[in-house]
């Protein structure tokens, strides 16, 4: 029994790691091509032939071969550990993402709580990187990141509460099933749920979740912790070689993970009308990946469209707009849940 447990655990961890790496590499390639198209450039076209599909692999190989430079002023242990903490927090999210009724590494009853809690580990990693670098730009970037992630963690959590109220469960599988079985005015035909019900009922929460996700990822227009024109590269300034690659990989893996969570909470996840549960174990991953791809495209589109916010604008958006609106959404959702 003990051997079977460790074998099963090893297989699940390998699958989670594989999904995370493939998702991150595909997202990097997508960003290269989409940003090039938006700016009327060619984009990658050499590595991997005409489409340049091997460019992310070539970039990764390049960074791995680079010398890792560690300044004398850093706290070596914390400095080296920080990228692993960031990547670990991102990887842990993939464990509970359901790709089908039975296709999930860990089906937790408190899946939503787990996701929101474990995603905060990345904040600790960023603070570790900024503090341990022994560089004033890195320290400022780390402090900015901490302030930003704390501010936008609140609307991210509050945006999910409305979904939990409607579904009546914290399980991600349960939330998908609740959307599949949602009744519109007492009528239950599946074709009414072709458009995921929570996308309509929680449109405000969906918009808040996506905005807060961008801020959690520190992507433009919320890239104040890095801000090359102000802080060189923020908390990444002193990193090079493989460890810089791990931060870079963690950003794109996190983007895919948050897109997967948003798809599960608001877009019906792996569910597809008129398809049995047995068939969903085969079709479900394709359905979920399609929804993830649409949201990742939206994240990339936002990055290459909007300018960077000022620090005061960034904080005002969170505390004066997103949090009050999210609280109002919770109140309205709770009232409607009781009434209807």
Q: What is the pLDDT of residues 222-238, one digit of tens each?
A: 877 777 666 677 778 88
- Say how far apart CA 196 and CA 266 lie, in whole Å: 7
Q: What is the pLDDT of residue 188?
A: 65
Q: What is the pLDDT of residues 130-171, one digit of tens each?
A: 888 878 888 888 888 888 888 888 899 999 999 999 988 899
Q: What is the band of 298 on the pLDDT scale with cuts at 50, 70, 90?
A: very high
- Say how far apart CA 212 and CA 210 lie, in whole Å: 5
State the pTM of this model: 0.89
Among 215, 301, 198, 206, CA closest to 262: 206
Q: Which of 42-56, 246-260, 281-295 has the lowest mean pLDDT?
A: 42-56
Q: What is the pLDDT of residue 250?
A: 83
Task: Examine the pLDDT at 189 and tell me if it is beyond 80.
Answer: no
For 279, the 3-state DSSP assignment is: helix
Q: What is the pLDDT of residue 230?
A: 66
Specify which residues 187 forms β-bridges with. 184
Considering only residues 147 and 293, tell me which one the structure prediction assigns the higher pLDDT.
293
Cα of first residue to Cα of last residue in the chain, in angstroms, is 48
Tokens linked to 217: 């990822």
Q: What is the pLDDT of residue 187?
A: 64
- Say how far apart CA 134 and CA 147 lie, in whole Å: 19
Specify which residues 184 forms β-bridges with. 187
Tokens linked to 216: 């959690």
- The torsion angles phi and psi of 339, rounded to 5 degrees, stand at -70, -45
For 276, the 3-state DSSP assignment is: coil
Q: What is the pLDDT of residues 111-121, one digit of tens each?
A: 888 998 888 88
Instruction: Calculate the CA 335 to chain-centre distance.
Output: 30
- Say how far apart CA 139 and CA 132 lie, in whole Å: 8
Most confident segment among 24-28, 65-69, 192-196: 24-28
- Per the CB < 8 A criterion, the answer to whether 176 and 266 are in contact is no
Task: Examine the pLDDT at 210 and tell me if it is beyond 70.
Answer: yes
Q: What is the pLDDT of residue 1?
A: 56
Task: Examine the pLDDT at 81 and tell me if it is beyond 60.
Answer: yes
Tokens linked to 58: 């070539």
């Amino acid at each position: 029994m003990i051997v079977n447990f460790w074998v099963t655990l090893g297989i699940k961890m390998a699958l989670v790691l594989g999904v995370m790496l493939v998702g991150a590499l595909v997202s990097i390639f997508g960003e290269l091509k989409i940003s090039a198209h938006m700016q009327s450039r060619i984009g990658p076209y050499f590595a991997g032939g005409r489409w340049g599909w091997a460019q992310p692999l070539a970039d990764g190989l390049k960074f791995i071969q680079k010398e890792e430079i560690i300044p004398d002023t850093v706290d070596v242990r914390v400095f080296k550990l920080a990228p692993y903490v960031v990547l670990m927090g991102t990887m842990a999210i993939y464990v509970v993402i359901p790709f089908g009724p039975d296709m999930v590494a860990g089906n937790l009853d408190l899946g939503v709580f787990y996701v929101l809690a474990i995603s905060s580990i990345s904040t600790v990693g960023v603070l570790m990187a900024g503090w341990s670098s022994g560089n004033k730009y890195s320290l400022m970037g780390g402090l900015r990141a901490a302030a930003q992630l704390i501010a936008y963690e609140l609307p991210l959590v509050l945006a999910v509460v409305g979904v939990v109220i409607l579904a009546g469960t914290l399980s991600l599988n349960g939330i998908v099933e609740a959307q599949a079985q949602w009744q519109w005015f007492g009528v239950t035909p599946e074709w009414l749920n072709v458009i995921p019900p929570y996308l309509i009922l929680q449109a405000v929460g969906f918009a808040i979740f996506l905005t807060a996700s961008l801020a959690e990822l520190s992507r433009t227009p919320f890239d104040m912790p890095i801000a090359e024109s102000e802080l060189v590269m923020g908390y990444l300034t002193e990193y090079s070689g493989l460890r810089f690659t791990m931060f870079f990989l963690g950003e794109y893996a996190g983007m895919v993970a948050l897109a997967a969570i948003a798809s599960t909470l608001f877009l019906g996840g792996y569910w597809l009308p008129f398809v049995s549960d047995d068939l969903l174990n085969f079709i479900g991953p394709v359905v979920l990946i399609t929804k993830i791809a649409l949201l990742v495209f939206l994240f990339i589109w936002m990055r290459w469209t909007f300018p960077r916010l000022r620090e005061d604008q960034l904080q005002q958006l969170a505390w004066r707009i997103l949090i009050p609106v999210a609280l109002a959404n919770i109140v309205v959702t709770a009232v409607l849940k009781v009434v209807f």
